[in-house]
Structure 1
Amino acid sequence: MKHPQRPGAVDPILADGDEPLSNRSHNRYFGDILETRLSRRSMLRGSLATFIAGAMATRLPFSSAFAGEAAAAPSLGFQAIPTSAADTVVVPDGYRVHAMLPMGTPISGHMPAYSLSASGEDQAHQVGSHHDGMHFFPLQGSARDGLLVMNHEYIEPRFLHAAAAGLALDRSGFPQNEDGSRDDDQVLKELNAHGVSVVRVRADDQGQWQVVEDVHNRRITGLTPMRLAGPVAGTEHLVTQYSPDGTMTRGTLNNCAHGVTPWNTYLAAEENWAGYFANSDVEIDRRQARYGIETRDSGRYQWHRAASGADEYVRFDASVRGASASEDYRNEPHAFGWMVEIDPMDPASTPIKRTHLGRFAHEGVIFAPAVEGQPVVAYSGDDARFEYIYKFVSARPFEAATADGSLLDEGTLYVARFNDDGSGEWLALAPGENGLTPENGFADLADILVNTRSAADQAGATKMDRPEWGAVDPATGQVYFTLTNNTQREESQTDAVNPRAENSFGQIVRWQEEDSHAGTRFAWDLFVLAGDQDDSRDLAGEPLDQESIFANPDGLWIDPDRRVWIQTDISESVMNSGIYEVFGNNQMLAANPETGEIKRFLTGPVGQEITGVITTPDQRTMFVNVQHPGATTDADAFAAGDLVSHWPDGGSAIPRSATLVITREDGGIIGA
């Protein structure tokens, strides 16, 4: 068995906060499966190009029971733009773009103005940091008035605090007292810069979108009280000093992509949350160790070292301190790694963590089209090296008149196994199935779900190359997932689909479910192999051209006309350097799912990630997020005030994450 990442190996392109390898199981690697499958196909083929073409162009064998007639291919009616390394946003000719809702924009309370000197309490009424997954909820069916709801993945403390000025801080650095403690108000500000923003936005008569002061506007942060629901709620796994009955917790962290339920609520994903916790215990059980928590006395931002020792900060130390779990926060990490349901239409509602969707580094969640009288189906990827892709199928059927989040509390969680012949199967993570028995260390359903990764290991799931966002084709039902990279592939593992010693660029996999989305069998193939003009292949097996090359696919969305929107996240540690220089700044492209044609639509400013995309219902306004501009500023340059980006305000301003508003000059449909 090959082990592409050796214990202790450091991945050179992991972004700050990305989880290090914690999967030590002997399950098969997706790369091994590709190698076996494609080797069989290529025995009679004489060239690498033909080898890859055969892999990319194979028709999926299962017909779709929900597809109907052949689906119309969408148009890509814009002129592709070149790559860019400029500190600006570029869109095609005939399009307009402007930024709104930069980090710190006031939305509620006394509407505190943005300032580096703003307090931690002020931040609870301002748009958070590092914008990510996002959805537009129209009000009264309007395409010009609605709630924009977005995740805030993480922070760069140096761009949050006035006290950071002049300090040699890199993108992870933070101000700290001489004794190693943290200032309480800085910690409060950092916690409040995480989470989710709900903002009413409206277009005026000139088409300019603006924030509307409204009762719906609110911040969900790292401190917001939240209810736990589903099989793990109320069990010993979640007992803490804050919630002795294991039914409540505080806050949501590292929210990456998102989901939108068929009953019109928003789901925030908790991704790289494990790094926020310290734990000085000598022995750490699998509920934390399998998620990357090791024996350490520090957390990502050292919140547990706030000078006051307040309870809301101390909880980030998961060490055993008391006589029982109800006297300390040994179980606090178990309250993270879930999908968090938020009702944007009810500002008084309490967010709910839905535990039956599994506990891992959720990139996001996508729902198959809901069908009256059939189960609800949702897919989610675990964004870490060699982790898995999951599917949840509800026990109760969807009934539009009564559907709510309780549908996500009963059902079956599955994990994917990809087979050599292009078929696949969903393995149930349920008591007594696939080796999930007390004898193998899984006492009951709650134990399986709080240890989702270990359960998937036991079941025999296929190790994937960092599953990111997913999307469902509204016409064919095919499911797409981005796999952003795997730089740990060894020379002996190279094959046609990964014809380089390191999979530095990633790919997009898609599959067709057999019979329905709730089924347990599927057929898979690759949609695109990302890379430069030498190391990429499109759906026809041809190299991508200069108008379509990209690396590290991350964000993904399929619009109502079936355009596949692909967003990239080249890590700031390698952006615009070495093999990544040819790609320039991170970008967004559009693809035709039938022909595989890909065109570059947008490039962002310096040091950022392009992420989060949605249109208004009429598809005439598109919202896209720009996360962490300026992140490539090194520590010495920051100390000298020599920032590489000043986007979006320009001049000498601190760079801020913000939301792009994109329209066509002729008022037409975006991308058509």
Structure 2
Amino acid sequence: MAEHVRGKRSAVTCLLKCGNACAEPVANSSGNGYFRDVAQTALSRRAALGIGAAAAVVVGGAEAARGGPGGGPAGPPDGVGVPFSFGAIDPVPSDVDELTVPGGWAWEPIVRWGDPLFPGAPALDPEHQTAEAQAQQFGYNNDFLAILPDGPGALTGLLVCNHEYTNEEVMFPAAQWSTRGRELRRAAMAAHGMSVVELVREEAGGPWSYVVGGARNRRIHLDTPFRLSGPAAGSELLRTEEDPAGTTVLGTLNNCSGGVTPWGTVLSGEENVNSYFVGSPTEEEKRFEITASPTAHGWESVQRRWNLGLEGCRNEANRFGWIVEVDPQDPTSTPVKRTALGRFKHEGANVRVDPATGRVVAYMGDDSRFEYLYKFVSRDAYREGDAAHNRTLLDHGDLFVAKFAGNSPAGEIDGEGGLPSDGAFDGTGEWIPLTRDGASAVPGMSIDQVLVNTRAAGDAVGATAMDRPEDVEPSPVSGLVYVALTNNTDRGAKDRNLSEELPADEANPRTKNRDGHVLELSERGGSAVAERFDWSILLVCGDPAEDSSAYFAGFDPARVSPISCPDNLAFDSTGRLWISTDGAPSNIGYNDGLFRVGLEGGERGRVEQFLSVPVEAETCGPVVHDAENMVYVAVQHPGEDGSHAAPSSFFPDYVPERATPAPGQVRGPRPAVVQVYRP
């Protein structure tokens, strides 16, 4: 992975999280979507200059004064409500094992890997961990996060979290693999999935504590039954020897981002599920990036279903890669995999209700190089208060994939990231139907083929290949839709799986795109169910001190926080965009962080860093409750490059070298959900 990794991103993360995806040939060999539409003029939105700064404090280590970019005071944007204020912190070098927050703010974990969730559950003991213990504890590598108070200002609530993948070398002693290898793999399997945890606090706006034995506490893992629903349920493509009906799946895995529906359920995206399966892949499985190589996690040695070459297991991989829906209020409910939303490497799904029709729309990205952007439009309308009806909305409707067109001359998109003459990367787009009225809209493919092999369906209709579309979030204030495109180092490079270079285009304007960018989509007529849209690039990410192509919607690049590899998106109540990163500014090597971005008036394009996570960690699942001055993040894979015997991070317990850990603490790193608040 050495030639693919730069900055602070760990090659270990690449192996365990996605199976070294960017070292493999590009799975999309269709040649789709490299448009060269030409127009003479384009609309662009430019913003006036702005600035913000103050002191910051490092929590978990020594205090230090940190001046924000520019050195001036924060101020509200034009025409938008006043947000909470903070002093933007400076980027933190990637060897710093601290969680850094602005001055006047504090942080503490809510729940960590291995914390017991149920009465009688043991505290984490990595030296003696078992699958049975892990199934009663908070899982590993928390990603998507929802904080759901039981009402405005309530003192009780729920935390819902995904557990994406495991790093067994950090979790367990190396010497145990020779004698307890099977049990350690079973424990790692139990650390995947999701957690639902009850919360309590003493006052509104104060920090939360989690409740051991909360009535709604739940662990969802690889032994949890899931119901398959929607048009592909029962398809021959989903049947196995263990489930000849093709309607019940055990477990969910590699869950990345997600969303909360208007009817109170949680959506979770199954992402890099290919890296758990082994077997001589079919052409459809190759398109899904399944290989014949032994897996990094080795589950095929524990359960036969992970080996696709064994009798009766061929379709097991088809049963993962879906959007999962969970009712967090009912721990006895059966989670559902919604096949109508298609199968690909889901980053997540975020739902909005179209105000004119009441139909619900789910936006989704497929997080791989040169993959596609999707949306689902329900057949039926949302009914306020009708939970039973609303939980059927994601089973019936139309699935679309995006095709982008730029409006600048081809010669102005040179791959270097320079703005075209009209002053913006922008254009138009269309949503191409893959399913329509319960039937396939792709010639030559049945509806279950479209939904199980959705990437191939996108290939067939000429969708635009994008630079790793991850989180897709509609703004609850403006209705505009924002797309995080994390990076794509193969853009413009000759890939061994393709006969030609994959050039830059106006929606993906940089070759060797290591820093990523953020798109802004406006559905035509303001209708979420529209089949046309306009788009522009809000941010071309990077460190402007090192990269002249970095662009911040016209905001002065000398007066922003550098940002790279946008991953998860969120909004505060005033409509500002929050971005968590996975890769940090790759030219220099900073720790990942959470950033606020103005979208209106003189604040448009202003990027301010709010926090920085510890060494080798990724910032995930941001939640911003600005009315309470509360921000939440999931800190994933801290100390990824270390080992159990030689940890490279000590987050979040920070036990001194010679001290005895307190009950429930460990000396090495633990992924954790963190709350940041004003004490």
TM-score interval, normalised by the smaller of the two chains: 0.7 to 0.9
Structure-2 residue corresponding to 1:135: 146
Contact 1:132 1:611 in 2 (8 A): yes
Residue aligning to 2:289: 292
Matching residue of 1:192: 190
| 2:27 equivalent to 1:22 | yes
The one-letter code matched in structure 2 to 1:158 is E
Where structure 1 has 5 or more consecutive residues not aligned to the other structure, the ranges are 1-7, 43-53, 59-69, 166-174, 307-312, 322-327, 666-672
Match of 1:586 among 587, 592, 596: 592
Q: Does 1:554 align with 2:544?
A: no
SS in 2 for 1:551: coil
Asked if residue 124 in structure 1 is aligned to residue 128 in structure 2, the reply is: no
Comparing 91-100 and 353-362, the one that deviates more = 91-100
Are 1:56 and 1:528, in contact at CA under 8 Å, matched by a contact in 2? no
| Residues 330/76 of structure 1: CA separation in 2 closer, same or farther (3 Å cut) | same
Structure 1 residue 616, shift from structure 2 partner: 4.6
Q: CA deviation at 1:99?
A: 1.8
Q: Pick from 640, 646, 649 the counterpart of residue 631 of structure 1.
A: 640
- Distance in 2 (alpha carbons) for counterparts of 1:412 and 1:10: 41
CA distance in 2, matches of 1:271, 1:535: 33
Given the alignment of the two structures, is residue 504 of structure 1 paired with residue 514 of structure 2, yes or no? yes
- 1:579-630 Cα deviation digits (max 9, x unpaired): 7253510011101111221111101110000111114584432211110000
Distance in structure 1 (CA, Å) of the matches to 2:563 and 2:551: 11
Q: 1:9 & 1:413 partners in 2: Cα distance?
A: 38
Give the C-alpha shift of residue 109 in structure 1. Answer: 4.4
Please tell me whether residue 274 in structure 1 is matched to residue 279 in structure 2. no
**Preserved contact between residue 475 and residue 481 of structure 2 (Cα < 8 Å):** yes
Q: How does 1:162-201 map to 2 (within 5 A)?
A: 162=173, 164=174, 176-177=177-178, 183-201=181-199
> Deviations for 1:517-555, whole angstroms, at most 9, x for unmatched residues?
011000000111100113354444356336411110111
Q: For 1:55 and 1:535, how far apart are their aligned partners in 2?
A: 20
1:475 to partner: Cα distance: 2.1
For residues 349-381 of structure 1, give each alpha carbon's deviation from its aligned partner in whole angstroms, at most 9, with x where no partner exists: 011000001100000111124548521111000
Q: State TM-score, norm by structure 1.
A: 0.82
What SS does the aligned partner of 1:91 have? strand
CA distance in 2, matches of 1:624, 1:95: 14
1:609 is aligned, of 597, 606, 618, to: 618
Report if aligned partners of 1:537, 1:543 keep a CA contact under 8 Å in 2: no
For 1:228-377, what aligned pairs fall within 5 Å after superposition?
Answer: 228-279=228-279, 281=280, 284-286=282-284, 288-296=285-293, 298-306=294-302, 313-321=303-311, 328-369=312-353, 371=355, 373-377=357-361
Matching residue of 1:149: 160
Q: 2:374 aligns with which of 387, 390, 399?
A: 390
Q: Tell me, what secondary structure is at the counterpart of 2:157?
A: strand
Moved more, 483-492 or 656-665: 483-492
The residue number in structure 2 matching 1:82 is 90
Work out which of the residue numbers 437, 443, 458 in structure 2 matches 1:437.
443
**What is the aligned counterpart of 1:468 among 470, 476, 479?**
470
CA contact (8 A) 1:334 1:450 kept: yes
Report the secondary structure of 1:447's partner residue: helix
Q: Aligned partners of 2:505, 2:332: CA distance in 1, in Å?
A: 54
Pick one of 455, 462, 465 that aligns with 1:453.
455
Measured at CA, do residues 379 and 499 of structure 1 come closer, stay the same or move farther in structure 2, by a change above 3 Å? Answer: closer
- CA spacing shift, 1:459–1:434, aligned 2, 3 Å: farther
Post-superposition CA distance 1:26-66 (Å, at most 9, x none):
2123xx55xx569x569xxxxxxxxxxx86749xxxxxxxx
Q: Relative to 1, partners in 2 of residues 1:80 and 1:357: Cα closer, same or farther, differing over 3 Å?
A: same
Q: Is the 8 A contact 1:55 1:526 kept in 2?
A: no
State the shift of 1:480 in Å.
0.1
User: Normalised by the size of structure 2, how large is the TM-score?
Assistant: 0.81
Any idea what SS the aligned residue of 1:580 has?
coil
Secondary structure at 2:112 match in 1: coil
Give 3-state SS (helix, strand or coil) of 1:87's partner. coil
User: Counterpart amino acid of 2:188?
Assistant: E
Q: Work out the CA distance in 1 between the residues paired with 2:595 and 2:362.
A: 25
Instruction: Give the Cα separation in 2 of the matches to 1:242 and 1:501.
Output: 46
Aligned length: 587
In structure 2, distance between residues paired with 1:543 and 1:488: 29
Deviations 1:428-453 (A, max 9, x none): 00269997123xxx1x2111101100
Per the TM alignment, residue 97 of structure 1 is displaced from its structure 2 partner at its CA by 1.1
Conserved 8 A contact 2:326-2:335: yes
What's 1:658 paired with? 672
SS of equivalent residue, structure 1 residue 186: helix
Which of 502, 505, 528 lines up with 2:539 in the alignment? 528
The answer to whether the Cα contact below 8 Å between 1:535 and 1:543 also exists between their aligned partners in 2 is no
Distance in 2, matches of 1:581 and 1:460, equals 34
* Alignment partner of 1:484 is 2:486: yes
> 1:556 is paired with a residue of what secondary structure?
strand
Structure 2 counterpart SS, 1:386:
strand
Whole-Å Cα distance in 1 between the matches of residues 508 and 240 of structure 2?
46
Amino acid at match of 2:574: D
Q: Residue 11 of structure 1: CA displacement?
A: 4.2
Contact 2:361 2:377 in 1 (8 A): yes
CA 1:499 to 1:294, structure 2 compared with 1: closer, same or farther past 3 Å?
closer
Deviation at 1:289, TM superposition (A): 1.7
Give the 3 Å change call, closer, same or farther, for CA 291–661 of structure 1 in structure 2: same
CA contact (8 A) 1:96 1:662 kept: yes
Instruction: Write the distance in 1 (CA, Å) between the matches of 2:199 and 2:354.
Output: 28
**Percent same amino acid among aligned pairs?**
36
Take 1:291 and 1:211, find their aligned partners in 2: how far apart are those partners?
A: 38
Instruction: State the one-letter code of the partner of 1:318.
Output: L
1:457 shift after superposition: 0.5
Displacement of 1:400: 1.4
Superposition deviation, residue 329 in structure 1: 1.1
Instruction: Give distance in 2, aligned partners of 1:417 and 1:9.
Output: 33
Report if aligned partners of 2:399, 2:436 keep a CA contact under 8 Å in 1.
Answer: no
